[in-house]
Amino acid sequence: MSEYKCIRCLKCFPIKSRLIRHLNGKKVCNVVEQGKDVERSKLIEELKNEPKKSKKMKRNINKNFKCDRCTRTFINSFQLNRHKQYCYGPDLCIWKAKLKFKKENRKFNRLASMILNLIKDTYLIPIQLIQIKSNGTYEVYEEGNWIIIGKFQLMEGLLKKIAEFPAFTSKVKLILTEMANTITDHNILKEWENKKSDLCKYKRYRFLYRTLFEGLCNGITDPDNILSYSQTIKKREAEIIKLEIEDQEDINEAKQQLENKKIKAINDWKEKELPQMLKKLINDLHDEINWRYAVEEIAHLNLDQQEEIFKIIEEDENLNHQLSEIVSAVHNFY
């Protein structure tokens, strides 16, 4: 560690600023025997004009981490992995990449889903060879460089490449080839992309083209947006379970509403109709002609209602002496 010494008093300081502060102090330092009597202002000027010392220290760096795609080397794995995110090597080209396709994705019934998964496994995972540059413009990796191309050129190249996939039938290859050859006609493409048009010359290709292009854009943004066959099945199962739960909740809600209506109807009957019916029965019991009909009506009531009527009879001065007879007649009615 370097030190800064005052040539007047020979006192040492770790940094230059402290020596300057020492020389600028109100109290002037004394000149010792081995020191030099130099004016403080001159010493301060010399220190300020002194060139700055470089803080960088030369050291031997061992670059032991080499990229297996190019010739560059790095001092640690972090720098190497960061470099590999953007380096695909000078020999890698999007149009020369070998098409990859998982066997499970052949179970798809829709051609668009099969093609999108083929694009995902070949051009988006694990190395993404297509990037969105701006609206309608894309970048593709060709032999060490990112090349800017338009969406029509991108779709034409991808369709021609996918048409070479041996797993597809001759009919599918013919459809993809015709689409790729026709894609140079921008007027037809505008018809394909126009969702409101019903007069498209290539109407059978329009939906497939639009589905592929929209799925490709979503896949470039995030490859996980393109679902494999197993992921699609899991998603559908989750949706079915969700619908079943919602249906069950609707059924339970409907049952609860019906139960609430029943309870409300019973309460309304108890509050409005039951008192009138009980009053009529009591009046009939006072009449010898209607007495038997009243007993019959009481016998058809449930036990709680019968108990309520018996209490009313017990409290009635004109009928309380007939309570045991009425109860016996009700119980023996059947």
- State the pLDDT at residue 17: 86
Place of tokens 């995902």: 120
DSSP class of residue 320? G
* Four-residue CA torsion sign, 43, 44, 46, 51: positive
Residue 92, amino acid: L
pLDDT tens-digit map of 265-285 = 888 877 888 788 778 888 888
- State the pLDDT at residue 199: 47
pLDDT digit string (tens) for the chain, length 334 residues: 457 888 888 888 888 888 888 888 888 888 888 888 888 888 888 888 877 665 555 455 667 788 877 777 888 888 888 777 666 666 778 888 888 888 888 788 888 888 898 888 888 887 788 888 877 788 888 877 888 888 888 888 888 888 888 888 888 888 888 888 776 655 565 665 555 555 455 566 777 888 888 888 888 888 888 888 888 888 888 888 888 888 888 888 888 888 988 888 888 877 888 788 778 888 888 877 788 888 888 888 878 778 888 888 888 877 778 888 888 888 887 6
Place of tokens 């007495």: 291
Rounded Cα gap, residues 1 and 242, in angstroms: 71
* Residues written for the chain: 334
Segment holding 249, helix H or strand E = helix 229-268
* Four-residue CA torsion sign, 291, 295, 296, 298: positive
Q: Is the peptide bond before 90 cis (omega within 30 degrees of 0)?
A: no
Helices (runs of H) and strands (runs of E) counted in the chain: 13, 7
Task: Count CB-CB contacts under 10 A for residue 110.
Answer: 11
- State the pLDDT at residue 76: 86
Tokens of 34: 């081995």
DSSP class of residue 86? T
Q: Is 74 helix (H, G, I), strand (E, B) or coil?
A: strand
